[in-house]
Chain A
Amino acid sequence: MTAVPDELREAHPRDNLLRTDLFPHIWCPGCGLGIALHAFLEGMEKAGIPREKRTVVSGIGCSGRTAGLLKVDAYHTTHGRPIPFATGIKLANPDLHVSVFSGDGDLFAIGGNHFIHAARRNMDIHVVCINNFNYGMTGGQMGPTTPAKAKTTTTPYGNFEHPFNLPWLAATCGATYVARWTTLDARRIRDSVAEAAVKKGFTFIEIVSPCPIGYGRPNRIGSGLDEMKYYEEKWELRGENWIIQEGANPRDADIDLGKTIIVGKFVDIEKPTFLDMYRAQMPQDAPRKEAARAETEEVKK
């Protein structure tokens, strides 16, 4: 890492939230992670979550490096396991605000099983997934979100697998909040993070993010900026106020090379969390049981 000369060093308005001793960071020029991370920090500030109560857990990969950059209780864990690690933190101390910030390969390939079960349980954690359509850290291999026909270093003839549609997956597994944005819209990410942060239950935000080296180059999309322009052309805002019970369907949100990328908020529902249901079942905890039962009935109405 090359040191930045003092005269070029400017204070960033969010330096108070960052471990500046790790800068310059390791991400490539044109990478969307910086935009996503900044929007995430802004969203957490907007939500007013006290900093000492915030914990951020990451897995492995380019996105996995984010936890280490944040001036909160930060846990850089193993590949695919940030969600169960975060589950342990949340259950051991429900007063903590627990976020998972990680990538598509980490959360949906090696960690896919943990994702679906945490969503099913409605575990009170807030997941942000940076989807760059490939394994960036290892040099651009195919992953579970790589669009069909896309080229990567391990799909030199074009990808022959069907990719995950992440909002649909999250919605069907039971997430209470599901949204997708691209790094083109930092303010919407911020607002969405803020909205999800104060929501009860398992929330999921996908951020489609350029990876000019791993994904843009082999697919002739060009630089990071070109990939953003591509989003601008293909970007369509739909269903911002849709909720799944009212008939909105994230099933339409699959991403294909050259096709429209649907962004927006897909799901925003209330339902009892794991802790609500746990407490409601425990015999000795009568007052809490009552509260949880009232809440459940509230949701049913």
Chain B
Amino acid sequence: MRGDVITGKYFMNGDIAAAEGALSAGCRFFAGYPITPSTEIAERMAERLPEVGGMYIQMEDELGSMAAILGASCAGTKAMSATSGPGFSLMMENIGLGIMLEVPAVVINVQRGGPSTGLPTTVGQQDMMQAKWGSHGDYEIIAYSPNSPQEMYDLTVKAFNAAERYRLPVLVMADEAVGHMTERVVVPEKAAIPIVHRKAPSVPPSEYQTFRAGKDLIPEFAVAGQGYFVRMESLTHDELGRPSLTPETQQSLVGRLQEKILRHAHEIAEYEEYLLEDADVVVVAYGITSRCVREAVDEARAGGIKAGLLRLVTVWPFPHWRIAELATQAKAFIVPEVNFGQIVREVERAVAGRASTKFVQYSPGAIPHPNRTLKTIQEVAK
């Protein structure tokens, strides 16, 4: 019987690496619904969770899957689901519930092409804005964007830690290419994996308030069954968890839900910089695309163009500050994406007219070829 951390070097598929990342992070509950191209995650969890004393359940749909992982988390178990586009749309409802009740959980979206049934078996990056805006009402979210099976493992661990620390559903916005790619994955020693647990109540039940937050804006989490009598309320609520349907409570509650992420945005946001020190042309990319266009940057450099790559490891919160800094030095930003133009708009907003911004469109359904991005780099460098 294998343990929760299978330390070693593997030739592993990205979806399976994500499942192993979840187990390493302490995930002991998975609720899901089969959907290509994320199904391998559910299959791996169905096999592995019983080995480590966890619980797998195949739900009737993704509405139920998302609700179930929030319930499991409220009972004190780290919980996850995995899905793709159509299922991600169904999860939006209860992702909003997770934001409102501040329940840690992880959702992996192995993106395929859409809208609707779209391209079930091939790559897409068309849900990046849905991740931020898909559930109704205003909220801030945390979304990672892995570009290798190794990162499917690493970033799933980080997603659990961020979910526990900031108390919200955290998204791993993978894509079919990364999910179905098989590559070397190193699973570290258990002791080398940092694990974060949500803050437990520091006061006795008589003094506990379900949504009272301290300086870091993150309330302490009381698990069901401990005598704290939590009041988890999906209506706009005060610190006690009582419904309070006033503009003042809405302002303070939803303001805090946003601010608890925005205030920590510099700690949460991760990005990699490649040849940016003197870059005139900055390529901004994430997920599978970030891997493909690195070659375009290399070729542009070989051709004498000062190109560089800003690779977004977290897409949300969006590191607009770094782009704003780069906009004072670079003359052009190039944003290749496997969609019809999503994150390019965020880049444009951050650049704010200080440089030009060009979108390189790749159709969902195929892994992006670096040539098109190279051509655009050459055009703007003229």
Sample (22) of A-B pairs whose CB atoms are under 8 Å apart: A60-B234, A71-B229, A74-B231, A75-B71, A76-B233, A77-B97, A78-B93, A78-B234, A80-B63, A84-B60, A84-B64, A88-B31, A88-B68, A88-B70, A89-B71, A89-B72, A93-B224, A96-B75, A114-B64, A117-B64, A278-B55, A284-B51
Contact with A along B215-244 (1 / 0, CB 8 A): 000000000111111111111000011110
Contacts of B241 in A (CB 8 A): 68
Which A87-117 residues have C-beta < 8 A from chain B? 87-93, 95-96, 113-114, 117
Set A55, A71, A74, A92: member contacting B72, Cβ < 8 A: A92
Q: Are A87 and B71 in contact (CB under 8 A)?
A: yes
> B227: which A residues are within 8 A, CB to CB?
52
Complex CA–CA separation, A274 to B55 (angstroms): 11
A73 and B68 contact, CB distance less than 8 A: no
**Contact of B234 with A96 in the complex, beta carbons under 8 Å:** no
Of A21, A73, A113, which one neighbours B64 at CB under 8 angstroms?
A: A113
Identify the A interface with B (CB < 8 A).
19, 21-22, 52-53, 55, 57, 60, 68, 71-78, 80-81, 83-93, 95-96, 113-114, 117, 274, 278, 282-285
Interface residues on B, range: 35 or more
Chain A, Cβ-Cβ closest to B50: A282
B355 at the interface (CB under 8 A from A): no
Contact A87 B232 (CB under 8 A): no
Partner among A52, A75, A85, A274 whose Cβ is within 8 Å of the Cβ of B226? A52
Q: Which residues of B contact A81 (CB under 8 A)?
A: 63-64, 67, 93-94, 97
Contact flags B73-94 to A (C-beta < 8 A → 1, else 0): 1111101000000000000011
Q: How many Å lie between the Cα of A300 and that of B96 in the bound state? A: 44
With A81-B64, A88-B73, A93-B76 as contacts: A75 and B232 at CB distance below 8 Å: yes
Report yes or no: A78 in contact with B71, Cβ–Cβ below 8 A: no
Of the residues A22, A93, A284, contact of B50 by C-beta under 8 Å: A284
**Is A88 in contact with B72, judged by CB distance below 8 angstroms?**
yes
Given known contacts A77-B97, A89-B72, A68 and B225 CB-to-CB distance under 8 angstroms: no
Q: Tell me how far the C-beta of B209 lies from the nearest C-beta in chain A, rounded to whole angstroms.
A: 12
* A73 and B1 form a contact (CB under 8 A): no
Is B55's CB under 8 angstroms from A78's CB? no
Residue B150 at the A interface, CB < 8 A?
A: no
> Which residues of B are at the interface with A, using a C-beta cutoff of 8 A?
1, 28-29, 31, 50-51, 55, 57, 59-61, 63-65, 67-77, 79, 93-94, 96-97, 101, 224-235, 240-243
Given contacts A95-B225, A282-B50, 16 further A-B contacts (CB under 8 A): A53-B225, A55-B75, A68-B231, A68-B241, A76-B232, A81-B97, A84-B60, A88-B29, A88-B67, A88-B71, A88-B75, A88-B79, A89-B72, A89-B74, A92-B29, A117-B60
With a cutoff of 8 Å between Cβ atoms, the chain B residues found around residue A68 in the complex are 231, 233, 241-243
Contact A93 B233 (CB under 8 A): no
The 8 Å CB contact of A73, one of B60, B69, B228, B240, is B228
Contact of A76 among B65, B67, B69, B235 (CB under 8 A): B235
Q: Is the CB of A91 within 8 A of B59?
A: no
Please indicate the chain A residues that have their CB under 8 angstroms from the CB of B73 in the complex: 88, 92
What is the chain B residue whose CB lies nearest that of A79? B93
Residues of B within 8 A of A83 (CB): 64
Q: How far is the CB of A82 from chain B (nearest CB, A)?
A: 8
- From known contacts A19-B231, A81-B94, infer whether A75 and B74 are also in contact, taking CB-CB under 8 Å: yes
Q: Which of B71, B74, B224 has the most CB of A within 10 A?
A: B71
Given A73-B225, A78-B93, A87-B68, residue A92 in contact with residue B76 (CB < 8 A): yes
Contact of A77 with B67 in the complex, beta carbons under 8 Å: yes
Chain A hits for B225, CB < 8 A: 52-53, 55, 73, 93, 95-96
Bound complex: CA of A53 vs CA of B224, how far in Å? 8
Q: Which residues of B contact A76 (CB under 8 A)?
A: 232-235
Determine the chain B residues whose CB is within 8 A of the CB of A89 once the complex forms: 71-72, 74-75, 224
Q: In whole angstroms, what is the CA distance A117 to B129 when docked?
A: 32
**In the bound complex, how far is the Cα of B49 from the Cα of A285, in angstroms?**
13
A90 to B57, CA, bound (A): 12
Residues in B with CB closer than 8 Å to A117 are 59-60, 64
Distance between Cα atoms of A113 and B59 in the complex (Å): 10
Chain A proximity of B102: nearest CB distance (Å):
13
**Beta-carbon nearest neighbor of B229 in chain A:** A71
Contact in complex: B72, A96 (CB < 8 Å): no
- Cα distance, A247 to B231, chains bound together (Å): 43
Cβ–Cβ < 8 Å partners of A92 in chain B: 28-29, 55, 71-77, 79
Question: In the assembled complex, how far is the CB of residue B171 from the closest CB belonging to chain A, in whole angstroms?
Answer: 18
Complexed CA–CA distance, A88 and B55 (Å): 10
**Closest B residue by C-beta to A58:** B234
- Is B77 within 8 A of A93, CB to CB? yes
Closest to B224 in A: A73
Among candidates A55, A91, A284, residue contacting B224 with C-beta atoms closer than 8 Å: A55
A96 to B101, CA, bound (A): 20
In the bound complex, CA of A90 to CA of B79 (Å): 13
> In whole Å, how far is B105's beta carbon from the nearest beta carbon of chain A?
10
Q: With contacts A53-B225, A74-B231 known, is A91 near B29, CB below 8 A?
A: yes
The interface residues of chain A lying within 8 Å CB-to-CB of B50 are 282-285
Q: How far is the CA of A114 from the CA of B93 in the complex (A)?
A: 15
Question: Is B72's CB under 8 angstroms from A91's CB?
Answer: yes
A21 to B244, CA, bound (A): 12
B67 near A85 with CB under 8 A, answer yes
For A57, the chain B residues whose CB sits under 8 A away are 71
**What A residues does B234 contact at CB under 8 A?**
60, 76-78
